[in-house]
Structure 1
Amino acid sequence: MMRVLITGANGFIGSHLVRACVARGDEVTALVRPGSGIDRLAEVSSDIHVHRVVLTDTAAVAPLFHNAQPDLVFHAAAKTRIPNGPDLSDAPASLRENVDSILSVLSAAAECETPPGAFVRLGTIAEYGDNPVPYLETQCEKPRDSYGTSMLTGTKYLEMLQPRLPFPAVTARLSLTYGPGQTGQQLVPYLIESLLTNKPAQIGRPDDARDLLYVDDAVRGLLMLGSDPKAAGPVVNISTGVATKVRDVAKMVQRLSNAPEDLLQFGSPTGAPIDLINHPGLMQSSYDWAPETNVQDGLKQTVEWAMRAQATLTGSVS
């Protein structure tokens, strides 16, 4: 049994990590934002220790690490939706959310009486930005927005601080991760929610391509990194390396949800398509990891989960 601490534990990926750690018998400390819902953790709530804390409040975070004394830390907390503002307010906001938080968590982990054996941070494919695909860990990153830039800043801080940290640390750059339990405006949950409720799904850039990573594959890779964070290097892509057109994703979801075809409304954008594809070679060679769920099966499982959730909600309302 390991003592595991997970920040952003009630998020989509964080909650899957929590359940995977509980399933293997770990003692889990879950850190979540004050005021945020913990519905995703309901089925394991009696098996974990949940604490609400502002991660940038170092004075509040440090005692939680002291009490938990984690063997392994997953830093999954991040602010992903940071819209551009004409007053440039998105820039300092992204630093507070995605840079100050990791520095606070790193400080608390480093000051533990017994520091953790490993620190795994969840990064993002958005850090690569304007680079040829598939993205390689060795490329010079050129992020397109404040979210990608702030996440890249966290990555660089982690690399710079590594010689001064009493534990090995690694950033996992995840491709577009999807699966059961995901909600919001990301591509897959947006399509599913729209089509299951008989609403038009607006796909502005149908010819863009995405590297879709099923959440179980992502979690399996993250657990491997946690077991040996030094095997590959400071940054590792977790991805399929497979390019799937957004148009094709929309059509698959439409068929799986039995929705009318005319609910799909495709735009005709100007400019070349934007592809977001990670190269998985380093992860595969260093950890003998490979994705086990292809996009067709992953979307099927995700749509079926959404249908069950919708049926449960409808039943409770009626």
Structure 2
Amino acid sequence: MTSQSRRGLITGSLAGAAGLAAGGMIFGQPTAALAATEGLVVITPSGKKSGVEDHAAIQGALSDVNRQVLLSAGEFYINQPIVMRSNQRLIGAGAHATKIKQVGAGHGITSVSDFAINYVTIAGLSMIGQYDPDTAPPANGPSGIRLVPGPAEGPSNITIEDCVVENWGDCGVYLTAVIASRITRVQSARNGGNGFYVTNTATAAATSLAFEACYALENKKNGYELDWVSYSTLNACAADATGGKRGYLLHGCASVTLTSCGAEEFTEEGFAVTNSRSCSLIGAFTYKGAKTGIRISGSTVNQTIGGAVQADPKSVDKPSLTNFIVAEAGSSAVIWGVTRTSPDLLSEKVTNLDGSA
């Protein structure tokens, strides 16, 4: 297995979009879009690269809640963030067909700080920023999709699927206080921060979140970072760091399970779990990478590591893995069915169920 094999993960388009667009829609440019009061609005690119015309058309169609906007194939240019509110859907013709390019300084898609951001769907498009991954990330840089509810609002219900988010100064996807939400087949690549970042707020939790078949590629920080997230799952996800710090970081989490997830060519850890409880890594896979495959640290307790695999710990052009599994003092874990070829450092409470580690 090589990282090369996953670089074409996100392909295709949203099936049936044309059928959904039939009947009751308004086609054309901003004036027509603004005239819509309900149903789907279809917008085509203006062909202008200033970002003014396309942003006005998209934002005009999203001028109120309960709006659904369908973007045709082509390149859209925006000079400021697209603001989404509750009960809105923004759907393109496919990630390789509909591309939104930020030519201004802001985020790609964001929310209004004083409002809720419930039942929002973003699908079938690419969000492309201006960050050059060969340079240092800017301080407080923009994110591709950044959805944060207002301080007085409850958790948000978010769906993001079949999207590519790349070249943003901070995170590709940044979500706060999400609940009963789903991120499916999303590629977050070459961003200055995390590929995917999720956290809570002082008044709203982040729970019941599912990542399915997502891919973090060459992000400067971590592929996936979950802070203070509870009873959620990542299934069949991939993280190729290639200079990034970690594939996956769980901090302060509870009952979060990663199933059949892989991390390749990281510089710190493939999987890091700190100050968490009752989390699980089932079938975790690491390939090459430096330092540590799996690190359990801080006050992490009741961690389960089952069926983890370390593949090819040595690397020709990067430092080789020092330890596959490290459990630091103060942590506890149950480990079973582990396959590895480099030493493990299990310095604190570790219960091995089958003797294989």
Q: Give the TM-score band, short-chain normalised.
A: under 0.3
User: Which structure is higher in RCO with an 8 Å CA cutoff and minimum separation 6?
Assistant: 1
Which has the larger strand fraction?
2
Larger radius of gyration: 2
Q: TM-score normalised to the size of structure 2?
A: 0.24
Q: TM-score normalised to the size of structure 1?
A: 0.26
